[in-house]
Structure 1
C-alpha cells in the first residue's frame, strides 16, 4: 500500500490504498468514525464522557458543550453505545446473582381497569458474577422458558445461582452444578441469616441504571434500550480500572462496529432481538 499524495486522491485527507483490492481507506475505516464530518475532538470528548460518567452522559449536554446540533450529538452517542456492545462474551462463573427490573415511566392513565399499569415499562434481566462482570438482556416477556434460556446462555454450568422467590426461577437450579439459592423479598428477607445468600449486588447494579435514566437520560425508547444497557454494562465491567484505561478499552471494543444513520433510524422493532 502507498499513500495518495497527489491529485489522484478524491479528497485531500491523505487516504491509503490497498495494493491488493485497490480500495482506499483511512484509520477511521471500519470504525464508528467512518465517513464522519464532525471534528475528531467531538468524538474523543464523547467517548471519554460516555466511558467515565458513572450515570451516563446525555446528548443534550454533548450538544451544548461541543456546540453541535442535538441530532448530531444523539447519533454520536448512539454509535458509541452500539460499539460498546460485546460479541460472544465469556460466560459468567462462580456465584451469579439474577434479578429483573422494569424500566419505564409512571402510569399516565389510572383507569380502574388499568390501575397502576403502564405500557411503557420493559423488563430487563440482569446477571452479575460476584466480583466479576454483569450481563443484561431486555425482555418482552418474563417467562420461565425465556429466563432459563438467557441464564444458560450467559452463565457456566458450574455456577451457583442466587435469585429472589419469583416463580420463574423455581426450576432454574436444575441446569447448574452449584445449585439455586434464593431470598424471600416478599417476607422482607434480604440476606439469609448466617449465609451469603442475597441479591444485593445486582440490586446495586440496577440502581445505577435507574439513577442514570432518571437523572441523565430521562426517557429511553424500547428500541434503543439495549444500546443504553451496553453502556451501563461496559462501565460496570471496567469498574476496577481508571478512566484512561477505560477509554482505551472502549476504543478497542468499538473497533469494527460501525452503525450507519439508516441502520440506526430504520432498525427493526425491539421484538426482533429481544426474548
Structure 2
C-alpha cells in the first residue's frame, strides 16, 4: 500500500473491509496482538477477525475499546469519513457526510463526534519560549436575533449569551484552547500555569492576570488605548515584537470554521469543536495521510 494517500486514492489503498481492519491492527498492535482485557495474556486467533484472551476467556477484535466498537458501520466507512473530514480545511458538516454515505444525519453526527474525541489529544501540548494569550467569545450577535430572543446587557466582554474560550499560542508552534466558565484573571492564569513552562515570555492584551509576573515575563499590548503592537531592538540586537496578533488570527480562523461550516454550535459541544480546530491548526504542516494516521493512532 502507498504510505502517502489522499481522498482520491483512498479506495485504491483500502479496497475492502479486510484491508482496513489489517491496517488498523498494525496501528494498534504492531506485529503482536495484545488483549485489551489482560495485556500479559496469550491470544488465540479465531474466525471472522476475532481473537480470544486466554486468561479471561473473552473474545475481542481490533475495534474493541475504541470509537469503532459496537457500531454497525464498517471500518471502510469510518476510514472514508475520517479522510473526508480531515481533507477539508474548515471541516465538513454531518449533513454532507450523510449525503455522501447515504446514511442518516443523526448517524453521521455521532460518527463525527466520536472522531472529535480523539482530536482532543492535540489540545494538551506544553508551550514555551514566547506565547500569546487571549480570550474569545463565541456566539451569535444580538442585533441578528429576533426581537423576542434578544439578550439584555450582553455587549462587550459579557458572556451571558456567548461561550468564553481561552487560547494560548506559542509563536511559530502549537496552540492550546479551552472553554472556560468565566474570564476572571485567576481562572485564566491557572490554565497558563498548566500549559506554559515557567520563565516564558507571555504577551497579553492588557487584561489583568494577577500574579502572572511571578513565573513569567509579561509584555502588554493595551488595546483599550488603541495600541496594537510594536517592534523594537534591544541593546543586544534582539528583535522584540510586542503583539497578540497571532492568537487573534487563530480566533478569526476558528470563527470562520464555525460560521462557514457548522453555522450554529451549542454550548454543550463547544469544546469538541475547539478540539477539532486545534487538531487542524497543530497539524497544519502535515499531509492528509499523516494527519489521518495520527488520528487513527489516537483512536488505537
TM-score range for the pair, normalised by the shorter chain length: 0.7 to 0.9
Residues 74-93 of structure 1 correspond to what in structure 2 (within 5 A)? 74-86=109-121, 89-93=124-128
Partner of 1:51: 86
Contact 1:52–1:247 under 8 Å retained in 2: no
Residues 1-275 of structure 1 correspond to what in structure 2 (within 5 A)? 1-5=43-47, 13-86=48-121, 89-107=124-142, 108=145, 109=147, 113-114=152-153, 116=155, 119-167=160-208, 169=209, 171-176=211-216, 179-194=217-232, 195-255=240-300
| CA deviation string 1:183-206 (max 9, x = no partner) | 122233222142311111111211
Q: Distance in 2 between matches of 1:208 and 1:88?
A: 16
User: Which runs of 5 or more structure 2 residues have no equivalent in the other structure?
Assistant: 1-42, 233-239
| CA deviation string 1:219-271 (max 9, x = no partner) | 1111111111111111111112111111111111223xxxxxxxxxxxxxxxx
CA RMSD of superposed structures (Å): 2.0
Q: Distance in 2 between matches of 1:190 and 1:158?
A: 24
Contact 2:123–2:177 under 8 Å retained in 1: no
Q: Distance in 1 between matches of 2:180 and 2:262?
A: 20
> How many residues in Structure 1 have an aligned counterpart in Structure 2?
245
Closer, same or farther in 2 for the Cα pair 1:111/1:213, shift >3 Å? closer
- 179-188 or 84-93: bigger deviation: 84-93
Q: Distance in 1 between matches of 2:279 and 2:185?
A: 27
Contact 1:106–1:118 under 8 Å retained in 2: no
Q: Could you tell me the TM-score, scaled by structure 2's length?
A: 0.76
Q: Distance in 2 between matches of 1:35 and 1:233?
A: 28
User: Which runs of 5 or more structure 1 residues have no equivalent in the other structure?
Assistant: 6-12, 256-275
| CA deviation string 1:24-61 (max 9, x = no partner) | 11111121101110122321122113323221111111
Q: Distance in 2 between matches of 1:100 and 1:156?
A: 19
Q: Distance in 2 between matches of 1:239 and 1:35?
A: 32
Report the secondary structure of 2:77's partner residue.
Answer: helix
Partner of 1:258: none
Per-residue deviation, 1:180: 0.3
- 36-45 or 62-71: bigger deviation: 36-45
Greater relative contact order (Cα < 8 A, sep 6+): 1
Contact 1:83–1:254 under 8 Å retained in 2: yes
Partner of 2:27: none
Q: Distance in 2 between matches of 1:87 and 1:166?
A: 27
Contact 1:16–1:25 under 8 Å retained in 2: yes
Per-residue deviation, 1:112: 9.3
Q: Distance in 2 between matches of 1:76 and 1:237?
A: 22
Q: Could you tell me the TM-score, scaled by structure 1's length?
A: 0.83
- 127-136 or 89-98: bigger deviation: 89-98
Per-residue deviation, 1:154: 0.9
Q: Distance in 2 between matches of 1:36 and 1:19?
A: 25
